[in-house]
Amino acid sequence: MPVWDWGYAFQVLPQLLRALLVTLQITVLGSVVALVLGLVIAVVRRAKVPVLDQVLWAVVEFIRSTPLLVQVFFLYFALPRFGVTFSALTVGVIGLGVHYATYTSEVYRAGIDAVPRGQWEAATALSLSPGRTWTGVILPQAIPRVLPALGNYVISMFKEVPLLLAISVIEVVNKAKELGSATFRFTEPYTIAGLLFLVLSYPASILIRRLERRRAAV
């Protein structure tokens, strides 16, 4: 039996590409959750509301200090015992999104802290409402500063999606595993799966590095 069979590789490629779409879907939806929820957490914590700030701090530290896989298992296997059931795909989006929201919230907070204090004072002097201050003054300056860091987390999330094979999400690595188990040829599907990740994540990482250099040059 040859080490590499091109015929078999081309045969399984369409199935792996369809599974890659699932991987990308989870990445995009999880990124939306992580970026939006992370911003909400950062803004709320910036307000320093008594009790709420301590609760959010505890939740963020707990999520960051426990493995993502454990959190996914809890959502998929433990929540149904309390009457809350989600599909494996939904669990993947929620698990990844919430987990990475705890990291993006710190990135946002760093960007907000980097906005000069004079900007806050100017908004106060102009009698801008809190909402207008955030949306018109602070966030337009804070978010561009942290785009490279946020992009790195999106790439990391993309590479974490294969963890969801543990709850039977048919993403590209799980599909490669299924194909290999059915034919006892693992070299081709796993190699193609790895190359697909490389083809997507490496150009994205180059783009992020360019953004970082551009920000540093400003």
What would the pLDDT profile of 112-134 be if each residue is shown by its tens digit?
998 888 988 888 888 888 888 89
* Per-residue pLDDT at 88 exceeds 90: yes
Least confident of 45-49, 60-64, 69-73, 178-182: 45-49
What pLDDT does residue 60 have? Answer: 94
3-state secondary structure of 39: helix
Query: What are the distances in angstroms from CA 189 to CA 16, 17, 36, 53, 155?
Result: 8, 11, 35, 47, 22
pTM: 0.91
Q: Supply φ then ψ for residue 180, to 5 degrees.
A: -65, -40
Alpha-carbon distance of 22 to 175, in angstroms, equals 10
pLDDT tens, residue by residue, 34-49: 999 999 999 999 888 8
Alpha helices in the chain, H assignment, sequence order: 6-47, 52-65, 68-73, 88-113, 117-125, 130-133, 139-160, 172-183, 187-217
Q: How many residues does the chain have?
A: 218
pLDDT tens, residue by residue, 149-185: 999 999 999 999 999 999 999 999 999 999 999 999 9
What pLDDT does residue 43 have? Answer: 92
Alpha-carbon distance of 139 to 48, in angstroms, equals 18
**Average pLDDT of the residues in 67-79:** 95
Choose among 152, 147, 169: nearest CA to 215.
147
Sign of the C-alpha dihedral, residues 20, 169, 25, 173? Answer: negative
DSSP-derived secondary structure for 111-155: HHHTS-HHHHHHHHHTT--HHHHIIIIIHHHHHHHHHHHHHHHHH
pLDDT tens, residue by residue, 182-202: 999 999 999 999 999 999 999
Q: How confident is the model at residue 217 (pLDDT cuts 50, 70, 90)?
A: low
Please provide the distance, in angstroms rounded to a whole number, between the alpha carbons at the two ends of the chain.
57
Domain with residues 7-217, CATH architecture: Orthogonal Bundle (1.10)
Alpha-carbon distance of 113 to 81, in angstroms, equals 42
Sign of the C-alpha dihedral, residues 209, 200, 22, 170? Answer: negative
Q: Where are the domains of the chain?
A: 7-217
Least confident of 64-68, 92-96, 117-121, 191-195: 117-121
The per-residue pLDDT of the chain, averaged, comes to 92
**75 and 95 in contact (C-beta within 8 Å)?**
yes
